Chain A
Amino acid sequence: DTGVSQNPRHKITKRGQNVTFRCDPISEHNRLYWYRQTLGQGPEFLTYFQNEAQLEKSRLLSDRFSAERPKGSFSTLEIQRTEQGDSAMYLCASSLGPSRGNEQFFGPGTRLTVL
């Protein structure tokens, strides 16, 4: 059973560029979550999917951010017109929801650096 995988692991970009990250959840997990973690802080919730439906979106997610999960399997998170404040670790997690105690399993993260 493979865990949650995320690609790329590191991304360096210039301000104003667009970036896209991918998350592959644990097989058969119908829930998928995105969080953002800045240095010295705990992760902050961004958004959540149940299958392909995006059910919750944080106010942290500005109009420049968009997430999709088109077939209810992998998900992508796109940031348009990146800003230096977007530099952070972007974490993906997946779960089976209440049937398994709502345990969320995290991937290794994608570290974004905006120059």
Chain B
Amino acid sequence: GNSVTQMEGPVTLSEEAFLTINCTYTATGYPSLFWYVQYPGEGLQLLLKATKADDKGSNKGFEATYRKETTSFHLEKGSVQVSDSAVYFCAPLDLGNEKLTFGTGTRLTIIP
């Protein structure tokens, strides 16, 4: 099955800083790749996705590029805001059984 290694948290940044959260995966075949976000007290929300090599997913200023050669899907944002404080999960999807495999999550805190 698939597996995910995510950047250890917690990560604390100042507002307007550049953000990178690393994610690498192992999978058979070419899974679709997702980032989900969990804001305090809320459920999991889909943040962005990419379905094939070199695809770039983007949403709310966040971006991630599907890198097949390095099996990575790192999350980036150029200028973070306090409202971005949340837990971020990287998750490849096994197209055969439609199962998402989540990483342990990276807790991000943005300080004003």
Give the distance to chain B from A75, nearest Cβ to Cβ, in Å: 15
A58 and B97 CA atoms in complex are apart in Å by 11
Interface status of B53 (Cβ within 8 A of chain A): no
Contact B102 A55 (CB under 8 A): no
Contact A43 B100 (CB under 8 A): yes
Contact B44 A91 (CB under 8 A): yes
Partner of A45, one of B32, B34, B100: B100
**Chain B interface helix/strand/loop/mixed:** strand
The verdict on A56 contacting B104 (CB below 8 Å), with A42-B91, A103-B49, A106-B45 known, is no
The verdict on A41 contacting B44 (CB below 8 Å), with A31-B98, A103-B49 known, is no
Contact B97 A109 (CB under 8 A): no
Contact B49 A48 (CB under 8 A): no
A102 and B94 CA atoms in complex are apart in Å by 10
How many residues of A are counted as interface, with CB atoms below 8 angstroms from the partner's CB atoms?
A: 27
A2 and B50 CA atoms in complex are apart in Å by 25
Contact A33 B102 (CB under 8 A): no
Interface status of B66 (Cβ within 8 A of chain A): no
The verdict on A41 contacting B104 (CB below 8 Å), with A31-B98, A33-B98, A55-B97 known, is yes
A25 surroundings in chain B (CB, below 8 A): none
A106 and B36 CA atoms in complex are apart in Å by 10
Given A42-B104, A97-B98, A109-B43: 16 more A-B contacts, CB < 8 Å: A33-B98, A40-B105, A41-B104, A42-B4, A44-B102, A48-B97, A48-B98, A48-B99, A56-B98, A93-B44, A102-B32, A102-B95, A102-B98, A103-B49, A104-B46, A104-B100
